[in-house]
Amino acid sequence: MNHYATIKDIARILKISTSTVSRALRDTYDVSKETKEKVLAVAAELNYKPNYNATALARGSTYNIGIILPMINNYYFSTVLTGIQEAAYSKGFNIVLFITNNSAERELAIIQNLFITSLDGLLVCISSDSDSCSHFQEIIDSGCPVVFFDRVPSNIKTSTVIQDDFNGAFEAVEHLIANGYTRIAHIAGPQGMVFTERRVEGYLAALQKNNFPIRKEWIIYSGFSQEDGERDTCRLLDGKERPDAIFAANDRKAIGAMLALKSRNIRIGKEIGVVGFTNDPMSAIITPSLTTVAEPAFEIGRESCELLIKHIKKKNFIPEEKVFPAKLIVRESSIKK
Amino acid sequence: MNHYATIKDIARILKISTSTVSRALRDTYDVSKETKEKVLAVAAELNYKPNYNATALARGSTYNIGIILPMINNYYFSTVLTGIQEAAYSKGFNIVLFITNNSAERELAIIQNLFITSLDGLLVCISSDSDSCSHFQEIIDSGCPVVFFDRVPSNIKTSTVIQDDFNGAFEAVEHLIANGYTRIAHIAGPQGMVFTERRVEGYLAALQKNNFPIRKEWIIYSGFSQEDGERDTCRLLDGKERPDAIFAANDRKAIGAMLALKSRNIRIGKEIGVVGFTNDPMSAIITPSLTTVAEPAFEIGRESCELLIKHIKKKNFIPEEKVFPAKLIVRESSIKK
DNA sequence: TATTTTGCCGGGAACGCTCTCACAAATAAA
DNA sequence: TTTATTTGTGAGAGCGTTCCCGGCAAAATA
């Protein structure tokens, strides 16, 4: 490794003790102005850099927080991560990033090999088919604060940050109904995930409120990708009864749906309405533009991180549950005109 | 911090020395099978986790690499980061992420406060207006391997990984010429950046090869965003002589250009051709679909990281320069038909 | 003047681990 | 049997900090 000057070097040069140097560098009061200045001068001259590992070992706390994400190469997660980073940076924390690729195995491997002793806290969005909750529980029990966001486990008591999936879905479906669509299908996320269920519940609640029948075959659970959306839509179109609107669990699936409709020359909006969820920039670019439910991704990331840091700073925190509102953004894909 | 069992605890229980425990856990040969098994059993029972900071301090090397990126919430960088993460994970390295928000000040602040002693290496894409090269030089001189990718500084001798910007731009413009466009403008990235210049050079070389005149007013330097592309395009359209094709330095700018053309009811392709650079998924979604030059983002990330790890493992490396080919993807926006 | 307070500093243990060296016991070679 | 080699283990220093404790002079108070 690179060899930098240490406080011992500074102490030797100034013929003072290492403790004094340490105090001077940390700007503690117990040191005279002159020696402090001398120390800082020598430190600058030697290009002194504090050894993070030594500090962490001595103090018992690193300024690192671990982030576990299913993926980062889409709008939502990259924006969340940007928000996390913003909060961490402003509070002097570093981010150690882990990506699970939506794989439960990988998530498990990461957690097991996680050098948890070098992290002050953990921010996690569980992978879609995750079943590693007991491992998280173990980490929490050991005293390491953990905050979950977006995809949260149902059976762990700790802080969570999510968007209002139920009301977002509810509003989306009500909007479709208000615009004259009567046969509304839902292409959902993977079964078993909390946010999938909440969005389904919002969908169902809107149907019930308006006295629309519920058709099981019009709720299709699958993955998050554009291809999943395309496949789900084809299944719907090939069914006995064709819906006249599709509410998708996210924008990628909605875009997949739109591509499927386009390839069959079905006019989006006029013949079949489409609403997504996320407000991916793509939704504004695609033709026709996609009506969607906006999630405050940046804010969710920032808030999650701030909450975690709060927990790190005062232990014995009481878990909080933060819910961000989701906002309907009406565009062309859901207007019959 | 969380309190975990240490090797001392294990040693005390088994009445052996800490050195033996250390050896057993690291699976060194210098320990008998029985004691090793006993140690592992006790370690598992106590839920022993190695203290990363202590290990790093004693060994003089962490398994952390720092990543400095201008931003991550777009296709290119989030995909590069995914590639980096893949390589790091498979080699047992952790990623510490820093984001500069395209700000030179922020980049400088990050570098200065970088706890460089806790990083084995650094992977960086400099921010657009970066002028902090001397700081990087200092880090390199101190013995910390640094690999630059995508946006590389021109005056630092170390390994770099980039795509073939010159030939990508050259092919894009040749393609436009081959499709009958004769007045080709270029909306470029920020002036002074290596990759901006290379793409401009490729653009100019293609014009020269085909004996097209070069018009300074048809080369506009600005930022990377969609809004920049929109603004640049409006300037071109409002100029004395209107171009019949626009080659944009990236897809975001190209999409901005398309939006500007659409809002003026200019038919993209037929009246004015557009070519981008990146192969952002949006380029396939937008109507008409956008012809672009694909960059192998994931591979660039993976390769950069592997190169860095190679440098970490054997010091006194000789700098390498890796260039990935860029590939033209023809779609609708550049076809007159 | 005697005593307490204050400001400044040094000594040294501690954090949890790795690694070198030394040494005894077991084995192989002479 | 003697000598050399291998194998398994322990002792202890060291990595670069922080932090508690105590000392000592100067200043403030009695």
B79 lies in a domain? Answer: yes
The reply to whether B206 and B187 lie within a common domain is yes
A144:B287 CB<8 A: no
Give the tens place of pLDDT for each residue, B209-242.
Answer: 999 999 999 999 999 999 999 999 999 999 999 9
Amino acid A20 reads T
Do B153 and B301 lie in one domain? The reply is yes
Which amino acid would we find at residue A34? E
DSSP summary character for residue B160: E
Instruction: Name residues whose C-beta falls within 8 Å of residue A38's C-beta, 6 or more positions apart in sequence.
Output: A14
Please report where in the chains the tokens 């400099």 appear, as a residue. Answer: B126
CB pair distance less than 8 Å for B53 and A50: no
Q: Are residues A184 and A236 in the same domain?
A: yes
Looking at the structure, tell me whether residues A139 and A255 fall in a common domain.
no
Q: Which two tokens mark B166?
A: 């010159």
User: Is A277 found in the same domain as A174?
Assistant: yes
> Closest by alpha carbon to A146, among A204, A65, A213, A246?
A65
The Å distance, CA of A59 to C1' of C11, is 19
CA distance A148 to B145: 35
Same domain? For A66 and A139 the reply is yes
In a domain, B55, yes or no: no
Residues of B in contact with A281 (CB under 8 A): 282
Specify whether B119 is located in the same domain as B232.
Answer: no
Domain membership of residue B23 as a residue range: 7-50
Number of folded domains in chain B? 3
Residues A275 and A304 in one domain: no
Q: What is the pLDDT of residue A29?
A: 76
**A157 and A173 co-located in one domain:** no
pLDDT at B272: 98
Please give the nucleotide, over all strands, whose C1' is closest to the CA of residue B35: D8
Distance from CA of A284 to the nearest CA of B (A): 10
Which amino acid is it at B52? Y
DSSP string, B88-120: HHHTT-EEEEEE-TT-HHHHHHHHHH--GGG-S
Q: Which nucleotides of D are covered by protein (CB under 7 A)?
A: 7-12, 14-20
**Three-state SS for B298?**
helix
Strand C bases near protein CB (under 7 Å) are 7-12, 14-20
B107 contact residues in A (CB cutoff 8 A):
none
Regarding whether B271 and B222 lie in a shared domain, the answer is yes
Q: Which of B118, B258, B311 to mutate to test the interface with A (most CBs of A within 10 A)?
A: B118
In a domain, B78, yes or no: yes
Q: Is A104 found in the same domain as A134? A: yes
pLDDT at A207: 98
Which nucleotide is at minimal CA–C1' distance from A10? D16
For A277, the 3-state DSSP assignment is strand
Interchain proximity B57–A53, CB inside 8 Å: yes
Q: What integer pLDDT is reported at residue A28 of this predicted model?
A: 79
Furthest C-alpha separation in chain A: 89
**B241 & B318 share domain:** no
CA distance A295 to A327: 7
Q: In what order do the strands lie in the sheet with A184-188?
A: A219-221, A184-188, A245-248, A273-278, A291-294, A327-329
Closest CA to A219 of A204, A234, A230: A204
Query: Which residues in chain A have Cβ-Cβ distances shorter than 8 Å to B58?
Result: none
Is position B57 within any domain?
no
Structure tokens at B109: 């602040």
Helices (H), ranges, A210-271: 226-237, 251-263
Q: Which ranges of chain B have pLDDT less than 50?
A: 1
Residue B211 is given by DSSP the state: T
Per-residue pLDDT tens digits of chain A, which is 337 residues long: 457 899 999 999 999 999 999 999 988 778 899 999 999 999 999 999 999 999 999 998 899 999 999 999 999 999 999 999 999 999 999 999 999 998 888 998 998 888 777 899 999 999 865 566 788 888 888 889 999 999 998 888 899 999 999 999 999 999 999 999 999 999 999 998 899 999 999 999 999 999 999 999 999 999 999 999 999 999 999 999 999 999 999 999 999 999 999 999 999 999 999 999 999 999 999 999 999 999 999 999 999 999 999 999 987 789 999 999 999 999 999 998 7
Residue at B256 is within a domain: yes
Residue A335 class from Cβ within 10 Å (0-12 exposed, 13-18 middle, 19+ buried)? middle
The CATH number of residue B28's host domain is 1.10.260.40
What pLDDT is attached to residue B337? 75
Looking at residue B132, its pLDDT comes to 66
Phi-psi region of B246 (alpha: psi -120 to 50; beta: other; left: phi over 0): beta
Q: What pLDDT does B199 receive?
A: 97
Interface touch A72/B56, C-beta < 8 Å: no
CA dist., res. B203 & res. B176, Å (int): 11
Burial code (b: 16+ CB inside 10 Å, e: under 16) for A251-283 equals bbbbbbbbbbbeeeeeebbeebbbbbbbbbbbb
Q: What does the pLDDT read at residue A241?
A: 93
Q: Are strands B219-221 and B184-188 parallel, antiparallel or unpaired?
A: parallel
| Nearest alpha carbon to residue B139 among B160, B124, B154, B161 | B124
User: Sign of torsion, CA A226 A231 A237 A240?
Assistant: negative
Residue B175 belongs to domain with CATH number: 3.40.50.2300
Give the pLDDT confidence score for residue B251 in this predicted structure: 98
Report CB contact under 8 Å: B61, A255: no
Protein footprint of strand D, defined by Cβ closer than 7 Å to any strand atom: A 3-4, 6-8, 18-19, 22, 25-26, 48-51, 54-55, 57-59; B 15-20, 23, 29-35, 54, 57-58, 60
For residue B143, give the nearest of A3, A142, A286 by CB distance: A3
**Hey, of A77, A90, A103, A115, which one would you mutate to test binding to chain B, going by the most B CBs within 10 A of its CB?**
A115
Query: Is position A290 within any domain?
Result: yes
The nearest CA of chain B is from the CA of A276 a distance in Å of 15
- The spacing between the Cα labelled CA in B29 and the C1' in D3, in angstroms, equals 26
Does the residue A55 lie in any domain?
Answer: no
Q: Do A118 and B53 touch (CB under 8 A)?
A: yes
- Paired residues of B147 in beta bridges: B123, B159
Instruction: Map tokens 């533009």 to a residue.
Output: A289
Q: Is A2 contained in some domain? A: no
**Bridge partners of residue A188, in order along the sequence:** A221
Which of A4, A51, A52 to mutate to probe the B interface, most B CBs <10 Å?
A: A52
